[in-house]
Amino acid sequence: MRRIAFINEKGGTCKTTLCVNVAARLAARGRRVLVADLDTQGHAGKSLGVDPRGLTPTVHDWLLGNAAFAAVVRPTAIPGLELLPANKDLAGFPVAAASAPEREDLLRRRLNELPEDAYDVVLVDSPPSRSLVTDNILVAVREIVVPVALTYLALDGCAEILESVERLRTERGSAPRLTLAVATLHRRTQLAEEILAKLRERLGPALSTTVLGWSVKVDEAQSHGQTVFEWAPRSSGARALAAIADEIDARGASARAA
């Protein structure tokens, strides 16, 4: 079971957009996919047509061992794709888990309780800042995908998350590998091109060959609780997100072969 987090220590980088659309693309290719929403905003659920407001139990209850997985997981409109929803209750997780032994290990232990063949891939939508939730994610997953909006602040957030991964490797002896970095929200400006060049220089083959431009169709899809493949499957945004999902899928196959 692959475990992949979409993560950057900066908001507005398209983490949720990538997570839910990659999930939909993989499900369409016959993968059994679980999206775990670990952001209090619950945007992954909203983007998949599940309104998390007032929903109970949620991923927060599952993490703390107060609800069974079967009581929390929700179906979506996409065959083969299920959701662990989050809402503002997750904001209480750091306090609720403060006294738990190995509190950074709760997500990993919960995922380990699932049968290995329950899903082909678990995709985690991460919060936009470092927290106990983020620590749990980095311990639990085996791969990370880092979206980088073409701004200097997002570039800084990318550097910070990669530094966090290296600290984790030093402290625990293991850490998730960088499967892919994705340049997002591209517009044809001099600044964007300069940042894209810096990313290519720093990340080399770890940077996706596909650059995700700003797409009104992707925004429209999310506002209707759909993925872009449902809303506008022939749009430029759909083509780009399909290519990114296929690249993530292919890199997983390459890693298994190695």
Query: What is the residue-level pLDDT of the chain in tens, covering all 258 positions?
Result: 999 999 988 888 999 999 999 999 999 999 999 999 999 999 999 999 999 999 999 999 999 999 999 999 999 999 999 999 999 999 999 999 999 889 999 999 999 999 999 999 999 999 988 899 999 999 999 999 999 988 777 677 788 888 889 998 999 899 999 999 999 988 888 888 888 998 899 899 999 999 999 899 999 999 999 999 999 999 999 999 999 999 999 998 666 654
**Residue 95 burial (C-beta neighbours within 10 Å; 0-12, 13-18, 19+):** exposed
Which residues make Cβ contacts (< 8 Å) with residue 97, sequence separation at least 6?
Answer: 63, 64, 103, 106, 132
Q: Residue 137, Cβ neighbours under 10 Å: how many?
A: 25
The structure's pTM equals 0.95
Do 44 and 92 form a contact (C-beta atoms < 8 A)? no
Q: Could you tell me the residue ranges of all domains in the chain?
A: 2-257
Q: Which CATH architecture has domain 2-257?
A: 3-Layer(aba) Sandwich (3.40)
